[in-house]
């Protein structure tokens, strides 16, 4: 896993634009683990990511539905694990099925514990409540050839 430095964004739009650039490099089977406090910008990142894939509809946070699928190319599963209490509850969602042929965006991936795949692109977002956000990214080997293009 390659640890990248931090990147600072001074607006939600800048964060969403970055997410769209990440989406341009994504392919089926990719897993993005989005960590951060409430209000940090995980759902903002997900909206920008989906816009980068051409999705024009609403992108609600799936806090209550847990999983929100999107018919994009590649297809996306947007998952919010905030309300789950254990990795077993997360396993019951069928995430392992999505891992094969979807891009899976996971908010609150720490709820998966050891079930989070090691090859997930890990994005930590800091700065809840303020405009400025700091992203710290850990890039797995499967992304190393694509990451410099972002």
Count of the separate structural domains present in the chain: 1
| 150 domain residue, yes or no | no
148 inside domain:
no
Does 29 have pLDDT greater than 90?
yes
* 68 within domain boundaries: yes
Q: For residues 103 and 49, give the distance between their C-alpha atoms in angstroms, rounded to a whole number.
A: 11
pTM of the model: 0.89
Q: Are strands 76-80 and 103-107 parallel, antiparallel or unpaired?
A: parallel
3-state secondary structure of 49: helix
pLDDT tens-place string over residues 39-97: 889 999 999 999 999 999 888 777 667 888 999 999 999 999 998 888 888 778 777 77
Residue 21, CB half-sphere, CA atoms under 13 Å: how many?
Answer: 11
Q: Looking at the domain assignment, is residue 91 inside a domain? A: yes
Domain around 137: 2-143
Q: Per the structure block, which two tokens stand in for 64? A: 């209550």
- Rounded Cα gap, residues 21 and 18, in angstroms: 5
- CA–CA separation, 28 vs 127, rounded Å? 30
Looking at the domain assignment, is residue 30 inside a domain?
yes
């Amino acid at each position: 896993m390659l640890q990248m430095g931090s990147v600072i964004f001074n607006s939600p739009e800048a964060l969403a634009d970055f997410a769209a650039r990440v989406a341009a490099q994504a392919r089926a089977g990719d897993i993005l683990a989005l960590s951060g406090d409430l209000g940090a910008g995980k759902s903002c990142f997900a909206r920008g990511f989906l816009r980068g894939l051409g999705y024009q509809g609403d992108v609600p946070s799936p806090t209550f539905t847990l999983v929100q699928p999107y018919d994009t190319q590649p297809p996306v599963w947007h998952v919010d694990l905030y309300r789950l209490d254990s990795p077993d509850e997360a396993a019951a969602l069928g995430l392992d099925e999505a891992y094969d042929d979807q891009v899976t965006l996971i908010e609150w991936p720490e709820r998966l514990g050891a079930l989070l795949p090691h090859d997930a692109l890990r994005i930590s977002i800091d700065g809840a409540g303020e405009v400025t956000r700091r992203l710290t990214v850990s890039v797995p080997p499967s992304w190393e050839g694509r990451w410099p293009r972002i």
